[in-house]
Amino acid sequence: MTIRFLIGFCVVFVTGSAAAIEPGPSSPSQKQTEAWLQLQASGKAASPVPQPSSPIERDLSMQRWLNSYQHPIPDFYEQKMGGSVSGGGSGSN
């Protein structure tokens, strides 16, 4: 087999398998979640009553957001700091 044939076969296989997945929600729970998200995005159920925040609430919210930058995000997390994980498969833990 040539490399062109293999690439062509892969493209056809991937395209065909992607088309086999039906669009839209696949379960009743997913359908309900999708409906709620669409309702939220559309704003059709929004309250007609304005709900402004007070200046104090805005200041506290901004301070909480700014404080979140005082703790650097580590490059990685060490397992011993976060607890333990029990193994579910074969091999040692």
Residues 47-90 pLDDT 10s: 999 999 999 999 999 999 999 999 888 888 777 755 666 665 55
pTM for this one? 0.34
Per-residue model confidence (pLDDT) at position 77 = 77
Domain ranges for the chain:
3-69
What pLDDT score was predicted for residue 14?
A: 55
Give SS3 for 34.
helix
Q: Express as a percent the part of the chain with pLDDT over 90.
A: 35
Three-state DSSP state, 75: coil
CB 25 within 8 A of CB 31: yes
Q: Give me 50's structure tokens.
A: 């304005």
